[in-house]
Amino acid sequence: MNGLLLKEARRLLLVVAVGGLLSWWQQGLWPLVVLLTGCLGFYLWQLARLLRWLQRYPDDWEPPESSGAWGELFNGLYRLLRRENLARDDLSQLIRRTESSMSAMRDGVVLLDRRQQLETWNQAAAHALGLRMSTDRRQAFTNFVRHPQMIAYLEKADFQQPLTLPAPVNPARMLEYSVTRYGAGEYLLLVRDVTRLHRLEQMRKDFVANVSHELKTPLTVFKGYVETLLDSTGAEQTALCRALNQMSVQSSRMERLINDLLWLARLEGTAAEQPHSQVRLDLLCVSLREEATALADERQQQIELAVPLGLTVLGDVDELRSAIGNLLTNAINYTGDSGKISLVWRASEDGGGLLEVCDNGPGIEHHHLPRLTERFYRPDASRVTATGGTGLGLAIVKHILLRHDSRLDISSRLGQGSCFACCFPAHRVLGLEPVI
């Protein structure tokens, strides 16, 4: 390239030299002016050819014929444009392939930009959400899925768990939205129709609730008869007494199980009541500790209480009593004799806080912790027989806390003890109400 430029510069110098010689010979400048004007004319002509070709490209894809630097310029431009064209073809093919694979997907795919506006989507998403390419591009996604839970979900930007909501075009269908952030903050939304799964889940819940309800009456009758028989059986009939005692213990356990199942079904099946009332957490903890003292005293256990006076949260008093009571009962049941249990409030910096129920009991192996709130999940079956637990306690606690926009954090060390923390967000904690 540099060589060509040198050649062009030399050619120009030659013209100037010849022009200069002729001007000296003719004793006037006009030969030089004529030659330079010719040169300029030549350059302008080549420039005009170049512009004309660029305007007609790509219909007329062949560059103008020329030699020297101009020829090289035309060919270089031609090569550049061709390379760009090929890259563009490849890119549009890739986009076409991506679009066709997206539309072949049975699940809906929606791409949102950083401002959560619709960018593109596939056929399944259009069908599920009622989107139209001609009118709905660049519209806010929440204009189509107006559910307050979706607005809160996107605002919170915690996409670890998918969100299940009724479909905007047909509320009888249930859609599950899984969101992933990618690129420079854009959103990739997968929309899955989970109506069948949801129905099955609903059937399971109804079945459990109905069976538990139906079992309640015969069990009450059975328990009543066992107690009557126990009262009327003399102590000398040892074998019968033992059998009746066992029947009484087991029927009480079954009653607790049924009550827990019904309670869990209620928690799962009904929406949390809004607005919640103000609950004095300090008074609740004092009363729960008093109730638990009898059981703890039997085992020489100490319950330490450190909840600030006047601490108030927004919630349902019965539900909170059940959750904290369950944690306290577990701590007493699973901590050995002379164990130490504490009920402590810790305020967090964001205005929320945690109510921790800790013990210095046997602890739980780390790999059990994530599954501990599943129904009937027991790390150690032998402990259960001893405590007579139902296996539903922590599932109930988790559900109650979810209904309070809160969560249960569990930490434990084998041989050292466990801590179950009810973490309340700032908008649930009213702080310390003045105590009269």
Q: Which of the ranges 105-113, 132-140, 180-188, 361-369 carries the binding residues for ligand ADP, by CB under 6 A? A: 361-369
Q: Which two tokens stand for residue 214?
A: 């139906």
Of 321 and 378, the one with the shorter C-beta distance to ligand ADP is: 378
Of 124 and 419, the one with the shorter C-beta distance to ligand ADP is: 419
Question: Under rule CB under 6 A, which residues in 370-389 are in contact with ligand ADP?
Answer: 372, 378-380, 383-384, 387, 389
Least distance from ligand ADP to the Cβ atom of residue 331, Å: 5
Least distance from ligand ADP to the Cβ atom of residue 303, Å: 13
* Side chain identity, residue 367: H
For tokens 């020489």, name the residue.
300
Least distance from ligand ADP to the Cβ atom of residue 207, Å: 21
Using rule CB under 6 A, residue 351 touches ligand ADP: no
Residues 159 and 26: their CA atoms lie apart, in Å, by: 88
Residues 232 and 92: their CA atoms lie apart, in Å, by: 89
Residues 100 and 126: their CA atoms lie apart, in Å, by: 14
Least distance from ligand ADP to the Cβ atom of residue 114, Å: 42
Of 49 and 375, the one with the shorter C-beta distance to ligand ADP is: 375
Of 108 and 325, the one with the shorter C-beta distance to ligand ADP is: 325
Q: Which of the ranges 24-32, 149-157, 317-325, 358-366 carries the binding residues for ligand ADP, by CB under 6 A? A: 358-366
Which of 303, 301, 275 is CA-nearest to residue 287? 303
Least distance from ligand ADP to the Cβ atom of residue 307, Å: 19
Residues 128 and 151: their CA atoms lie apart, in Å, by: 18
Using rule CB under 6 A, residue 364 touches ligand ADP: yes
Using rule CB under 6 A, residue 255 touches ligand ADP: no
| Count of residues near ligand ADP by CB under 6 A | 22
Least distance from ligand ADP to the Cβ atom of residue 404, Å: 18
Of 84 and 380, the one with the shorter C-beta distance to ligand ADP is: 380
Q: Which of the ranges 23-31, 190-198, 293-301, 330-338 carries the binding residues for ligand ADP, by CB under 6 A? A: 330-338
Question: Under rule CB under 6 A, which residues in 123-142 are in contact with ligand ADP?
Answer: none
Which of 337, 338, 332, 383 is CA-nearest to residue 358? 332
Least distance from ligand ADP to the Cβ atom of residue 192, Å: 30
Q: Which of the ranges 56-64, 67-75, 78-86, 390-398 carries the binding residues for ligand ADP, by CB under 6 A? A: 390-398
Least distance from ligand ADP to the Cβ atom of residue 418, Å: 4
Of 168 and 393, the one with the shorter C-beta distance to ligand ADP is: 393
Give me the 393-422 binding string for ligand ADP, x by CB under 6 A, dash otherwise. Answer: xxx----------------------x----
Using rule CB under 6 A, residue 19 touches ligand ADP: no
Least distance from ligand ADP to the Cβ atom of residue 368, Å: 8
Least distance from ligand ADP to the Cβ atom of residue 360, Å: 10
Least distance from ligand ADP to the Cβ atom of residue 367, Å: 13
Residues 119 and 49: their CA atoms lie apart, in Å, by: 42
Using rule CB under 6 A, residue 390 touches ligand ADP: yes
Of 52 and 299, the one with the shorter C-beta distance to ligand ADP is: 299
Among 334, 343, 355, 398, binds ligand ADP (CB under 6 A): 334
Judged by the rule CB under 6 A, the positions of this chain that interact with ligand ADP are: 330-331, 334, 359, 361-362, 364, 372, 378-380, 383-384, 387, 389-395, 418
